[in-house]
Chain A
Amino acid sequence: MAYVAVSGGQKAIEKSIELLHFFRSRTEKNLDLEALQVQLNLLIDRIMSEAGFYTSAYAALALHQCEGSVEEAVFLLRAYRSTLSRNYYTIPVNTIHMRVIRRISAAFKDIQGGQLLGATYDYTHRLLNFEGETRTSHESYQQMCTVLGQVTPLPISPCERVSSPLKKEGLIDEYPLNQEKPYDITKNILTFPCPRSARLQTLARADTGFISGLAYSALRGFGQVHPTVGELRIGYVALEIPYLFDNSESIYLGEILISEVECFNEVKEAHSLKIGVGYGAVFGRNENKAIAMAVLDRELEHPGSNPPQNEEFVLTHGDSLEMNGFISHLKLPHYVTFQSKLDALRKTRNNNPHESSL
């Protein structure tokens, strides 16, 4: 009797959890948390971004706990996040003050402040590096320390956006500074049409794969043709919160690493063309997600019949927790509901006068 055995759930769950330990215990090697946090930092960045929780140490802990499953790690962080009370909103960050570690433009060769290639896999050849097995972390670390010991850091100067001169020229619309409080998607349900702040927050937390696929579909013709990456910058920005007792002062919290993108699209006006900007910003180094976000931001500015232009479609289906939660719930017993479906189905077969004529 196959499924009757599903009673006795408590014991089954315990044994199942033991089996999970078994899968993690098939080697004597240690997986060091610090190594995980640093050497797999792109994975850590992705998890923090999809969790909406900037905490690389906990992200490493989560990843370690769940055999490296991205959605499980995101899940762990989100669940922990909802036990913490949220006391402050930071002061808006102006990213022209970013401590830039990489900055490129696909629109102009020469940009004010200069292009800075920085660290990228773009120009590596994807050949499996068999020597990677032999070189130790100790050697690499010592080598890096020696190099860093011999250089002096450059002073940080504000770095204007590539889009600024185009705004002055009138090719890009300038908007007054929006001082409205952002819509907090972690405390409010999305309603449509939703404010842009809600859209950007939702995209910033979205599953990387989901928004990459949607942005790709927009590029392939299910959207407005090919945008240009006006600027991609990666770097550290400082977070501050208002000081309660003196409005002119603020408290410095620390820095976070983000990827930020502005992409340019042609926009038709009555007799001429202008440039529309799409914006993307995500935690950590996650360039493709930031670009995909910028593409979708632009698509959503002009509602249309294609899926990437449908606000409700894009914004309600990209949350890692929600999509994976609902898909995985299909594994739960549906005995009662299926029984009811069977009943409805059998009745149509027994009573349908049309059936014989078909």
Chain B
Amino acid sequence: MNPHYNFAFLDEGSKKEIRRAILKAVAIPGYQVPFGSRELPIGRGWGTGGIQITLSLIGKNDILKVIDQGSDDSVNAVSIKKFIVECTDVQTTTCTEDASLIQTRHRIPEKRLQCHQILIFQVPLPEPLRIVEPREEITKKMHAEMDYAPIWLQLYESLIRYNKITIATEYPCMVENRYIMNPSPIPKFDNDKLNQAPCLYLFGAGREKKIYAIPPYTQVHSLAFDDIPFEKESFKGRKCRLCQSDSSYLDEFFDSQTGEKFYQCSDTAYCKERQSHVPE
């Protein structure tokens, strides 16, 4: 541990302040709680919201997992993990079920999380209404008044124009029939995992200075019309080249020599575990 800094980098006062914001967020599912976001040695926009949540919650006995786009080994995940370990000396893991705290960028692990686990999302733009209204002053009012017509209209217009709802990631969800929430840029594939989950989901946006939460067993529904159901990304007929999984989220690759297209699990821990069990 770096002796020049406090345990988990931030001073205790700051950590307590952030925990208070988290408690408020848990008490009002889907509501964005403003907080005094601190500067970190990692770039703003590189996951500082998630890191601040992790730093304020982490204790000596926690086991940490950090993933970026599903992968434990991606440069940014490695860099964040290294920073947190440097200032806490906690144990890390790549195994999803062993972790007590999992910080993630844009994926929910394929394996269902349990009630002793907290998944911490890094959020670039927390405001789901930003696509229809650029001003914070107005979007705050829209949430207060549940004035969600513009976003429904946006979905409808997309249907009329393209015959499909074209939102890719960051697909908005309704939380407990009250707040529309941005699930962070996870693919639509992961949206269903937010509903009635046994674990706690925390969302941190450092640059935008907001924290929000989905407590265990909360109702979270992706926005959809009665006659047009919500539709996820589909990987029909494709499977992972390494573990043969046909039910996980797949990344698309090109062989730079042959130009051939192939697929691999985005969740590397899930893929590795399957590889060790599935006979070749």
Contacts and interface: CB of A to CB of B under 8 A. Distances in A.
A336 B44 contact: no
B268 interface: yes
A138 interface: no
Interface in A301-335: 312, 316, 321-322, 324-329, 332-335
Given A7-B74, A348-B166, 18 more contacts: A9-B76, A9-B77, A9-B79, A84-B11, A188-B36, A192-B135, A326-B45, A326-B207, A327-B45, A332-B76, A333-B76, A336-B185, A339-B252, A343-B234, A344-B164, A347-B164, A353-B163, A354-B163
Interface string A1-39: 111101111101100000000000000000000000000
Contacts of B167: 344
B39 interface: yes
Interface in B221-280: 233-234, 249-257, 264, 266, 268
Contacts of A343: 168, 233-234
Interface stretch (B2-10, B113-121, B144-152): B2-10
Nearest to B210: A189
B45 A189 contact: no
Interface stretch (B65-73, B95-103, B175-183, B212-220): B65-73
A81 interface: yes
Interface size, B (range): 35 or more
B260 to A, nearest CB: 10
A329 B79 CA distance: 13
B69 A336 contact: yes
A191 interface: yes
Instruction: Name A's interface SS.
Output: helix
B106 A336 contact: yes
B187 A336 contact: yes
Nearest to A186: B36
Given A7-B71, A9-B73, A325-B45, A337 B106 contact: yes
Interface string B128-146: 0000000111001000000
Contacts of B78: 9-10, 13
B37 A6 contact: no
A328 B167 CA distance: 24
B163 A352 contact: yes
Interface residues of A, number: 56
A79 interface: yes
Contacts of A341: 168-169
Contacts of A191: 34, 136-137, 140
Nearest to B253: A4
Given A192-B137, A333-B69, A344 B168 contact: yes
Given A13-B75, A188-B36, A329-B124, A312 B135 contact: yes
A342 B233 CA distance: 9
Nearest to B233: A343
A92 interface: no
B137 A193 contact: yes
Contacts of A353: 163
B44 A1 contact: no
A75 interface: yes
Nearest to B40: A79
B168 A325 contact: no
Interface string B80-119: 0010000000000000000000000111000000000000
A82 B38 contact: yes
